[in-house]
Amino acid sequence: MNRKVLISKQKKRINGDILVIRLLDYSPKEMLNLKPKEIKEAIMLAGGRTLHVLSRLSAPNTVQYVCNPELVAIFGADIVGLAAYDPIDPLFPGLPSKNPKDDESTRNIQIQLGKGWTVREVRELIGRLVSIDMEVPSQYGKEEIDHRGRARSRYFTKENAQKVISQGPDIFGVGSREGSREDVYQSVIDAKKLVKGKCLLAVGLERPLGATIKGKKPYDLRKLITPEAVTNIAEAGADIIQVPAAGCLPGFDREYVQKLFAVIHKYNCLASAGIQQSQEGADVETIKRLALLNKMAGIDMLNLGDAGLNESTTLPENIMAVSIVIKGRRHTYRRMARSILR
């Protein structure tokens, strides 16, 4: 079905018996029962009112005895990103470990490690859709991974990706700080084969910070994230494409981001704008301006990064402020207030 026709309707029948409505109208339990195709259409129908917020798991929890996914969910996120997730040794700091002995080493600093929890359990606990991204290494598929202090299991390889996808995220994402455009493109092709309808495939083009631009100063970041690059990613099979939010990278104003969104929508993909580069930790008034700017540019989803006072979560008040800007108090408070039992 044509994207414009989809958006013109508030609801649509799939196979004659499944009703798909706007994502912001679903209760937690209803959301968690959606299939990937239904999630994509529900986000389209929401008209730019879907909020995705990252919550880092390789950092201490922001609020004592509350894990970061819980925190961002309760302040208005529709989709919670499990940032820096390790599929081999998953941790959810702030949750009590299933084996109390695992928390003995950090008891004196009042941090519970959250060992023993699964993605599916945390998803049910917070009542939100969850996403997991993996980092595409430089020279993807051509050499041993130089983990640069990160767990090897957090890098995108076919083996690591299969582990993550089997653990039940609603969205699986790939992106890169270090790899080239070609590395990311190949990873999308490989990831699409692994996803096979189990979850949506997201591709992040919002972080051109690594090898691609080293030694090439001065540089124009718009030459790295171009309509042509977006076209290649869309044709490789992405469901969601994330680009830098307007106002968050030099040269990325509303007009340029709008051009990128136009290409994304041409291929029936979801357009996501990433407020990152630590600007997610800016003051409330700035974060509200950025949210409105990108709503005007044509977002389907707004993505808040995980850097607030440190790399953990953005400030809770910023999450709620952004949510109110893109979907108003009515939908924000309802998302915050609805019990996960409903």
Listed by start position, the domains of the chain span 22-337
pLDDT of amino acid 81:
98
Residues 6+ positions from 247 with CB-CB distance below 8 Å: 253, 254, 279, 289, 290, 293, 294
Residues 6+ positions from 148 with CB-CB distance below 8 Å: 178
pLDDT of amino acid 340:
94
In single-letter form, the type of residue at position 20 comes to V
pLDDT of amino acid 4:
47
Q: CA 85 to CA 153: how far, in whole Å? A: 9
Q: CA 86 to CA 221: how far, in whole Å? A: 30
Tell me the average confidence (pLDDT) per consecutive run of 10 residues in the chain, 342 residues long.
Answer: 44 60 97 97 97 96 96 98 95 97 94 96 98 86 54 86 97 83 88 96 74 55 89 96 94 96 98 94 96 97 94 96 98 97 92
> Strands 270-275 and 240-244: what pairing?
parallel
Which DSSP string corresponds to 96-121? PPSSGGGGGGGGGGT----TT--HHH
Helices vs. strands in the chain: H and E counts, helices first:
11, 10
- Exposure letters 286-311 (e unless 16+ CB within 10 A, then b): ebbebbebbbebbbbbbbbbbbbeeb
Does the global pTM surpass 0.75? yes
Nearest to 154 by CA among 170, 177, 125, 185: 177
Asked if 151 and 88 count as a contact pair (C-beta separation under 8 A), the reply is yes
Asked if 128 and 78 count as a contact pair (C-beta separation under 8 A), the reply is yes
In single-letter form, the type of residue at position 192 comes to K
- Exposure letters 56-92 (e unless 16+ CB within 10 A, then b): bbbbbbbeeeebbbbbbbbbbbbbbbbbbbbbeebbb
Q: CA 46 to CA 235: how far, in whole Å? A: 24
SS3 257: helix
Q: What are phi and psi of 173, to 5 degrees?
A: -125, 150
Q: Is 257 exposed, middle or buried (0-12, 13-18, 19+ CB in 10 A)?
A: buried
Which DSSP string corresponds to 15-74? TTTEEEE-GGG--HHHHHT--HHHHHHHHHHTTS-EEEEEEESSS--SBTTB-HHHHHHH
CATH number of the domain at 22-337, please? 3.20.20.70
